[in-house]
Amino acid sequence: MADGRAATSGRIRWWDAAAIADDDSGTILRPHDVAGGGAGRWRRDVDGMLDIVWFGAVGDNDTDCTTALQAVFNAARTASGGAKDILRVDVPVGRFVFKQTLCRRLHLL
């Protein structure tokens, strides 16, 4: 796109040259050629819903998706300003395996 945004997986990512936020694997992505503390991140526009697949979950009935689930919860908390999780989390059709217990209060709908 002409404004520096790229359509990817049905969502729009854009380059934020000044961003130094931590990479969360789903909504904020630090390219490998940018040093850990260096500026520059790809950001994903979030329209009120986060997709667990963006964070590395695989619904293959084998891969442990606990880390991806924790990452999507953390991103929801960050995007909501820390007050409460106000974003929906989409879990597409598949068999997702979670091998660890997460201690987190959730508001499920």
Q: What is the pLDDT of residues 82-95, one digit of tens each?
A: 555 567 788 889 99
- List, for residues 53-107, the tens digit of each pLDDT value: 999 999 999 999 999 988 888 888 777 665 555 677 888 899 999 998 876 655 5
Which pLDDT score, from 0 to 100, does residue 29 have?
A: 86
Q: Bigger pLDDT: 72 or 9?
A: 72
Digit-coded pLDDT (tens) for 28-48: 888 888 887 789 998 887 777
At 65 the pLDDT is 93
Q: For the chain, what are the domain ranges?
A: 5-97
Q: Which pLDDT belongs to residue 7?
A: 44
Buried b (16+ CB within 10 A) or exposed e, 27-55: bbebeeebeeeeeebbbbebeeebbbbbb
Measured at the CA of 86, the angle between CA 25 and CA 7, to 5 degrees, comes to 45
- The whole-number pLDDT of residue 96 equals 92
DSSP state letter for 18: T
Strand spans (E) along 48-87: 49-51, 60-64
Two structure tokens written together for 47: 């329209």
